[in-house]
Chains A and B, each alone.
Chain A
Amino acid sequence: DAGITQSPRHKVTETGTPVTLRCHQTENHRYMYWYRQDPGHGLRLIHYSYGVKDTDKGEVSDGYSVSRSKTEDFLLTLESATSSQTSVYFCAIRKRGPLRGGHGYTFGSGTRLTVV
C-alpha cells in the first residue's frame, strides 16, 4: 500500500536476543514512524524519523533503537528482546503535502513479534 513494506511479517525470538525490524518505502517521504500496538493501548509511538540520520524518541522508546541511513529504510532494533516487547509493530509514513495541510499516515502491514 502506497509503497511501504515491513519485514519480517512474523517473528518468534528468544528473550535476550537482538531483533531488527525493517520498514521500506519507495516514495521518498521524509517522515517515518514506528509504533507498537497492544490490546487496550491503541498505537504507541516508539521512535520517528524526519530525515536521513534524523531520529527522535517517542512515548515508549526504552529498549528500542532506530536507524535511518537511507531515505527509504527505517530500521527498528530491540537491543535485547524481553517478553514485554511481544507486540505488533507498525511502520507509517506521512506523505508530503502543504505545510500544515494535514495529510494522513500510510501504514505498513505490520510485524507480529513474539518474544519467548
Chain B
Amino acid sequence: SQQGEEDPQALSIQEGENATMNCSYKTSINNLQWYRQNSGRGLVHLILIRSNEREKHSGRLRVTLDTSKKSSSLLITASRAADTASYFCATDAGESNYQLIWGAGTKLIIKP
C-alpha cells in the first residue's frame, strides 16, 4: 500500500526558479526521507528528517515536516538542468525491519 503521496505528479519549471514538491502520508512516522532518481538509474538518498524536526537544510535543499498535517515538502532552490529527475518521499514508521513506504514520485523537469 502507498503511504506517501507526492504532489504534483509532474512539475516543469525554468532553470533558476525554485521547485517545491509535497508529500502526504497516513500513519505516524519515525522519520521521512526524500530520494532522487535520474532516468534509468537507482534512487539516491537526499535528506532525512526525523519526526521531532520541523525543518532541515542540505545545500540547495530544504525539507519541512508537519506531523500534525502528516505532510512534508521538498524545496529545491535555484534549480539547475541537472536537477531534472523524479523525486520520491518515503516514510519510516519505526518498525523493526526499517521498512520504508514509498510514494509514486514527482517528475521534475528543469527547462534551460
Contacts and interface: CB of A to CB of B under 8 A. Distances in A.
A102 B48 contact: yes
Contact of B99 (A42, A48, A100, A110): A48
Interface residues of A, number: 27
Given A43-B88, A110-B42, A105 B105 contact: no
Interface in B82-112: 88, 90, 92, 94, 97-100, 102-105
A11 interface: no
Interface in A88-116: 90, 92, 94, 100, 102-110
Nearest to A40: B104
Nearest to B1: A59
B31 A106 contact: no
Contacts of B42: 1, 90, 107-110
A109 B40 CA distance: 8
Contact of B44 (A56, A102, A103, A107): A107
B104 A105 contact: no
17 contacts: A31-B98, A33-B99, A41-B2, A42-B2, A42-B88, A42-B104, A42-B105, A43-B102, A59-B1, A100-B94, A102-B30, A105-B43, A105-B100, A106-B45, A107-B44, A109-B41, A110-B40
Interface of A: 1, 31, 33, 40-45, 48, 50, 56, 58-59, 90, 92, 94, 100, 102-110
Given A42-B105, A107-B42, 9 more contacts: A42-B2, A42-B104, A45-B99, A48-B97, A50-B97, A59-B1, A100-B30, A102-B31, A104-B33
